[in-house]
Amino acid sequence: MFVFVVLIAILFAFYLFYKTKYFRSNRHVEKKWLSAKANIALGLFVLLFGINHLLFISETTVTYLVAAIFIIYGAIFSWIGFKKYKHYLPFAIEEAKTFDAQK
C-alpha cells in the first residue's frame, strides 16, 4: 500500500511540474509536447489511484465500480497522452533547434 501512495504522490508531482513548464513555455509545439507529458502523468495517477482503491479500500460494489472507472479512464488518458507525446516529439526537437539557431 505504501508503494502505491508514494507512486501516486510522485506522479501528481510530475503532473504539476509539467503543467508549470507548460504555462512558462513560449514555444507553441513545446507546449503541446509538455501537455502530452502532463496527460501521461495524470492518467497514470488516476490509474494507480483506482488500483489502490481496488486493492486496499473496503470491498463494496460502489468501490469496485469507482475503481474500475478510474482504472479505465486513467489507462485511456495515459494511452492518448503517450500517442500525443510520440507525435509531437520530433516537432518539438525541430522547434528547439530553430529556436536555438535564432539566438
pTM for the model: 0.89
Model confidence band, residue 103 (pLDDT cutoffs 50, 70, 90): low
User: Each residue of 35-46: pLDDT tens digit?
Assistant: 999 999 999 999
User: Each residue of 50-87: pLDDT tens digit?
Assistant: 999 888 887 888 889 999 999 999 999 999 999 999 99
Residues 27/99, Cβ–Cβ less than 8 Å: yes
Gap between the Cα atoms of 85 and 39, Å rounded: 9
Gap between the Cα atoms of 33 and 81, Å rounded: 9
Gap between the Cα atoms of 54 and 34, Å rounded: 30
